[in-house]
Structure 1
Amino acid sequence: MHKADTISTLCEATEPGVITRDMLVSLAIDQGPKKEGGRLFRQDGIELAELEEIRIEFLKILNIDHLWLLKNIVKLSLSHNVIQRIENLNELCHLKELNLSFNSIKIMENLNNLHQLEILLLYSNEISIIQNINDLKKLTILNIGKNNIDDWNHVVYLRDFKSLKSLNTSDNPCTKIDGYLDYLLAFIPQLTYCQYRMISENERQSAIDKHYRIISNLKENEAKKQTELELQQEFENKTVLLFASYVEHLDEDYLFQQIFSSDKVAGKTLSTINENTQNIFEEYQKSFVAICHELYELGLRENDRRVEEIRLFEVVVNEGKKNMQIEARRIINEILEKKTRIFANIKDEMETLVEKPEQEVESTIANARELFNEFNDLLSKTQNQLLSKEIILHDQMEKDDLFFVIDDREKIMINRLNNWLKEYINRLFADENKRNRQQILEISHFFEFQRQQLNSLSLPQQLDLINIDLGDDDMLKN
């Protein structure tokens, strides 16, 4: 279909519509390769999942749909439509450039899953707040011009986008307020371009000077916030480590305090009868906490050992898989080399058949039959060899005596350890079963294809070698 015809056909609808699969296919053909490349593109069929760029423009699109078909899309333009909501983009995890300009969008939403997005164009919409893009850490260019943004809150919000180099907010109500540009330049120092224009050092410094005191306070608060975030992250990391080591709450006196948490009167009252009981109580507390700390240290050491054992185990497993792949590749290459030789010999025998006297025909046919049987036997033996190796590897993977013996401890810890070990083994077995099925399938498909090629060889039907006609030289040439 010609480009003009495609656009004309898609634009014929008078009512706003949605993106459909047929529309995507038509646009893919129209925007795909031209000339010889285009012919092959159409001939081979449209693989929407392989497209990296598409423009869906001027088509009165109201609702976004079916874009999950474009799994590998990198650049997408939906400009000049009547889109009201940003939606159904979550599957486009490779998207780097998104153009939603000239639509009727009111809210920035459903964008946070686009982690690879570098360019976001939202020019000429109805947006009033820049929001919901916190996870777009790679965002480099943002065009939000000609919208309904009327305050300056977005300036501090965009300050956290450290990769942002170009920002356009022109033709928004907020830009009409005196001092906006200086405020913008001062508080988003990472910008190189603003409102389509490169920022000079003099402009930037002048803006910073005007807001020096506020910026200093902001930096101080940001540094404090960053420290708090680092401490929080450190605490969370430690909590995860202690939980994995089965020693949470053992590094301090938390467990000791828990013992007396339900004893509001008797225990503590008894410990304060006199100085001796108080001293005994304090000594008991020190001893208890010391034991807990020993368990804590032991748990961390055992966790390090367990992590190292898992690492070594996985190294051995992966090495076994790799060796299996190398050996299988060697066997396959060997059989393909023999195939080339045997097929060439069969071809030679068949080509000389018509030139030989009648008394030598039977001998030639016998030679061809022998070569045919030789390769057929080779396929069967090699297939059995590969399947046997795969079964051995699979059986080794399913043996659970490779895993760890864990010392007896408190019941809840034993249950947690057993649950962890069970989940780990189940995950390994699930991955191995998936790998095994895939390998068996690949082996079966390979040898089925080889037998199909063998059965396609042109041998005389009347001698009951194979039930096909003579003349298929293309297969012999291969």
Structure 2
Amino acid sequence: MNRIYKTMEPSVVDEQMLQKAVEEQGPQDQAGRIAKEEGIQYHEVIQLRLDYRNILKIDHLWEFTSLTKLQLHNNLIEKIQGLEKLINLEWLENMDPLKNLQIFSLGNNLISQLDNVIYLRKFKNLRTLNLAGNPVCKEENYTIFVAAYISDLVYLDFRPLDEQTRQKAFTQYQYAIEEMRHNDLQEQRATEAQKNNEEELQLHKDAFVEHLNGSHLFDSMYADDAEAAKLAYLPGVATLLESYQTQLVALCVQIFEVGLTQHTCRQNEMDAFFTGFQDAVADNQQRGAEIAADFERSRRQVMAGMQQAANNRLEARISNYRDEITQLCHTLMTLELQLVGQLEDITKDFERNISDMVGGFIEYVQGLFVQCRDLENHHHEKLLEIAVATLEKVAKNELEEDLPDDVRLLFVDKDTAVSAVSASHDTHLLKIDNREDELMTRINSWMTALIKSIHDEEIKRNRKRISEIHNYVDYVREQLEELHLQEHQ
């Protein structure tokens, strides 16, 4: 392989290489400086050239999700990998006969295994593939294999795939491809199921009630309870635990269901607020734009008239026009002030509504957690009764059940037995308290952050609008002063 860069050290695609490539191939001059200051967003990059860089391994490209053209030819790549996130990849080549075909070029690398080609089936829109100059091209079944696994391919190494080649590929690899497609379908279904589960869990987290739609809280209480496994051997405890779990799970499900319902209500309230907020801003902007447009039309007429006016009348016109500019500034500022007041009223109503919703939800959930603690206290009392009764039977040697030695050690005296039951009880109450505290803390933090973000965004909008008004007013004043200065020269 003839390489003009033999002296370069082999490399991998890393952050430093990508940053340099994006900066070199991105906007230049002032636009480039601005982009560099604001930070280049990889997910916005459309095209990227990584050719002639002695790359051994493709990596670190997962952020380039908008990439449509990627050039990796003339490197040292041995394996096609790391492209899963590039769902938009479609290098559109502008040369006949490949015009407007989706093409991927990895020519002149070190790809040597036919199995690498199977990876490329992930790109459903791939129509043209260039692997020319790679060792894999010398494999006996190279063309047939590629045609079989990338069935929609039109051109391979810049040559068309004829129907005879396609038919031969289908016949030779039919069963292998069917098995692969079956496995792909299974994998896709598993991926979709995982995605659905993750989305569902995220919804539950957004409602602050994740893992409360089942026995998670109950299980966590006993997972960290060192005495629970021992106490479970006592007569009657299994039945007691089953009843306790059923009732506790029912309370958790109540919290879960009301959490989802309240989340929907909060979301509807937020949607209504932001819609009203944006409508108010849009209406105000429209009115401001109309005022500015009317003034701009008038300004051009006035400026034209001033240029033709006699000197003795020009000063008066300039003075009047200065007053009109001042009035424009006052009008636009008044309009903005009205909007600020309107948005304050809308925001206060929203804050009151969302605060009432959160407060009502918290109050209701606190009541259910109280019931959880009452249930735990009742369970504790019953378990204590069983432990004391067991202690008496052990003391009288009347216990019929055969208890393990470590369980019998709990009943050497009353204090030991009571301590074991109390320790179990304390562990359970702590779990319940922590779950309640977590829910309350998170929803209050969410509400505080939401309201703060609304106020912060409004401050930014207001400052930006005032700056726009001042910039425009300054501009028309400068135009007037330039005209005034020209007339006195």
Please give the TM-score of this superposition, normalised by the length of structure 2. Answer: 0.68
2:470 partner letter: S
What is the CA-CA distance between 1:268 and the residue it aligns to? Answer: 7.1
Contact 2:21 2:49 in 1 (8 A): no
What corresponds to 2:135 in structure 1? 173
Query: Residues 264-343 of structure 1 correspond to what in structure 2 (within 5 A)?
Result: 264-265=226-227, 269=231, 273-274=235-236, 278-343=238-303
| Structure 1 position 454 matched with structure 2 position 454 | no
CA distance in 1 between counterparts of 2:470 and 2:25 reads: 32
Q: Among all aligned residue pairs of Structure 1 and Structure 2, give the percentage whose two residues are the same amino acid.
A: 25
1:402 partner letter: F
1:391 to 337, 346, 357: 337
Contact 1:117 1:136 in 2 (8 A): yes
What is the CA-CA distance between 1:331 and the residue it aligns to? Answer: 1.1
| Structure 1 position 402 matched with structure 2 position 362 | no
Q: Cα–Cα, structure 1 residues 446 and 249, in superposed 2: closer, same or farther, change >3 Å?
A: same
Indicate the RMSD between aligned Cα atoms, in angstroms. Answer: 3.1
What corresponds to 1:470 in structure 2? 487
2:249 partner letter: V
Contact 2:21 2:50 in 1 (8 A): no
What is the CA-CA distance between 1:93 and the residue it aligns to? Answer: 5.2
What corresponds to 2:402 in structure 1? none
Q: 1:61-115: per-residue Cα shift (whole Å, max 9, x none)?
A: x999475265459xxxxxxxxxxxxxxx975655545455556443334444433
| Structure 1 position 411 matched with structure 2 position 428 | no
Contact 1:72 1:94 in 2 (8 A): no
2:109 to 120, 124, 147: 147
What corresponds to 2:23 in structure 1? 68
CA distance in 2 between counterparts of 1:266 and 1:107 reads: 53
CA distance in 1 between counterparts of 2:462 and 2:133 reads: 60
Contact 1:142 1:168 in 2 (8 A): yes
After the TM superposition, which of the residue ranges 232-241 and 417-426 deviates more from structure 2? 417-426
2:73 partner letter: Y
1:442 partner letter: E
1:374 to 295, 300, 320: 320
Q: Cα–Cα, structure 1 residues 125 and 256, in superposed 2: closer, same or farther, change >3 Å?
A: closer
CA distance in 2 between counterparts of 1:91 and 1:119 reads: 16
What is the CA-CA distance between 1:432 and the residue it aligns to? Answer: 2.3
CA distance in 1 between counterparts of 2:19 and 2:451 reads: 43
What corresponds to 1:27 in structure 2? none
Q: Cα–Cα, structure 1 residues 119 and 69, in superposed 2: closer, same or farther, change >3 Å?
A: closer
Q: 1:287-327: per-residue Cα shift (whole Å, max 9, x none)?
A: 22122112211111111111111111110111111011101
What corresponds to 1:182 in structure 2? 144
After the TM superposition, which of the residue ranges 171-180 and 238-247 deviates more from structure 2? 171-180
CA distance in 2 between counterparts of 1:335 and 1:72 reads: 36
What corresponds to 1:230 in structure 2? 192
2:84 partner letter: N
1:138 to 71, 88, 113: 88
CA distance in 1 between counterparts of 2:82 and 2:232 reads: 58
CA distance in 2 between counterparts of 1:63 and 1:289 reads: 52
Q: Cα–Cα, structure 1 residues 281 and 103, in superposed 2: closer, same or farther, change >3 Å?
A: closer
Contact 1:256 1:288 in 2 (8 A): yes
What is the CA-CA distance between 1:130 and the residue it aligns to? Answer: 2.0
CA distance in 2 between counterparts of 1:70 and 1:103 reads: 15
Tell me, which stretches of 5 or more residues in structure 2 are unaligned?
A: 1-6, 9-16, 29-38, 91-102, 367-435
Query: Residues 351-370 of structure 1 correspond to what in structure 2 (within 5 A)?
Result: 365=312, 367-370=313-316
Q: 1:193-228: per-residue Cα shift (whole Å, max 9, x none)?
A: 111122233322321221122212211211111111
What is the CA-CA distance between 1:271 and the residue it aligns to? Answer: 8.4
What is the CA-CA distance between 1:414 and the residue it aligns to? Answer: 1.9
After the TM superposition, which of the residue ranges 299-308 and 128-137 deviates more from structure 2? 128-137
CA distance in 1 between counterparts of 2:151 and 2:126 reads: 10
CA distance in 1 between counterparts of 2:438 and 2:45 reads: 46
CA distance in 1 between counterparts of 2:47 and 2:476 reads: 45
CA distance in 2 between counterparts of 1:69 and 1:144 reads: 21
Query: Residues 122-137 of structure 1 correspond to what in structure 2 (within 5 A)?
Result: 122-137=72-87
1:443 to 469, 480, 489: 469
Tell me, which stretches of 5 or more residues in structure 1 are unaligned?
A: 1-14, 17-61, 74-88, 354-364, 459-467, 473-478
What is the CA-CA distance between 1:394 and the residue it aligns to? Answer: 3.6
What corresponds to 1:430 in structure 2? 456
- SS of residue in 2 equivalent to 1:248: coil
Query: Residues 28-177 of structure 1 correspond to what in structure 2 (within 5 A)?
Result: 65=20, 67-68=22-23, 70-71=25-26, 95-101=45-51, 104-140=54-90, 141-177=103-139
Q: Cα–Cα, structure 1 residues 341 and 149, in superposed 2: closer, same or farther, change >3 Å?
A: closer
CA distance in 2 between counterparts of 1:117 and 1:266 reads: 56
Structure of higher RCO (CA pairs closer than 8 Å, 6+ residues apart): 2
What is the CA-CA distance between 1:279 and the residue it aligns to? Answer: 4.1
After the TM superposition, which of the residue ranges 168-177 and 441-450 deviates more from structure 2? 168-177
Contact 1:90 1:111 in 2 (8 A): no
Q: 1:454-473: per-residue Cα shift (whole Å, max 9, x none)?
A: 22234xxxxxxxxx35278x
Q: Cα–Cα, structure 1 residues 349 and 320, in superposed 2: closer, same or farther, change >3 Å?
A: same
CA distance in 1 between counterparts of 2:340 and 2:475 reads: 25
Contact 1:70 1:92 in 2 (8 A): no
Q: Cα–Cα, structure 1 residues 149 and 346, in superposed 2: closer, same or farther, change >3 Å?
A: closer
Contact 1:117 1:139 in 2 (8 A): yes
- SS of residue in 2 equivalent to 1:142: strand
